[in-house]
Amino acid sequence: MTRKDRYQYILDYFEKAQPNVTTELQFGSAFQLLVATLLSAQCTDKRINAVTPPLFARYPDAHSMAQATEDDLYELIRSVSYPHAKAAHLAAMSRMLVSDYGGKVPTDPKELVKLPGVGRKTANVLQAVWLGRPAMAVDTHVYRVSHRMGLVPREANTPQKVEEYLEKHIPVEVIPKAHHWLLLHGRYICKSLHPRCAQCPFNDICPKLMEGSKLE
């Protein structure tokens, strides 16, 4: 099977099986999506969805969060990974949104990555989920699945290289959904240590390129 055929097979399956896929993070605005995505780094969406309701009840927007101290925020997010660093990022990010953008989340990805704690992946999530733009956010799941399933070559050895390769080979109108398809496949089926190959719809066509995946 050629790589082109592999893409077609996988995308056709997902389009039929999960036509209305979206993020599992819960949010009510662009600001809340930005906060939830920032918090989700190296943490499960389930944990983030447990933390954000009380956080957003107290600080629903940039203006209110900009008034919070790092300690205030830490107390509400202490159960996530790296809470001290993330509390500092949330405080600084909110203040910058207020001072530089009138409290609104910028839509330009070049402006988004200027915000404290916001990297390329988070900016792409905002582009794809909030704005519906063809941006491929590459997290650990997308990176792993793309390599294991032979969607990208070995030379695509950074998240940005994977992002660029996927965007070249996935139809532009499908890219926002393809991010979620690959992410959720990695989260629930193609897991890091113990992939559920027997439950995978691509088991028969997957090259299982698992070198360096720490499989037992």
- Min mean pLDDT across 38-42, 168-172, 180-184 is at 38-42
Is the pLDDT at 121 greater than 70? The verdict is yes
How large is the average pLDDT for residues 43-70?
A: 96
Residue 113 sits in the same domain as residue 71: yes
Mean pLDDT of 135-149: 93
pLDDT, residue 215, reads 40
Which residues are designated catalytic? 121, 139
Nearest Cα to Cα of residue 63 among 31, 37, 33, 85: 31
Decide which of 130, 152, 187 is a domain's last residue.
130
Number of domains the chain is built from: 2
Is 159 a member of any domain?
Answer: yes
> What's the pLDDT tens digit per position in 13-49?
999 999 999 899 999 999 999 999 999 988 889 999 9
Question: Is residue 214 a part of any domain in this protein?
Answer: no
Q: What value does the mean pLDDT take over residues 39-60?
A: 94
**Terminal-residue alpha carbon distance, the chain:** 28
User: Residue 47: exposed, middle, or buried by beta-carbon count in 10 A (0-12, 13-18, 19+)?
Assistant: middle
Stronger pLDDT, 206 or 216, i.e. the higher one:
206
Entry pTM:
0.87
Whether residue 43 lies inside any domain: the answer is: yes
Instruction: Indicate whether 167 and 192 sit together in one domain.
Output: yes
Evaluate whether residue 212 is within a structural domain: no
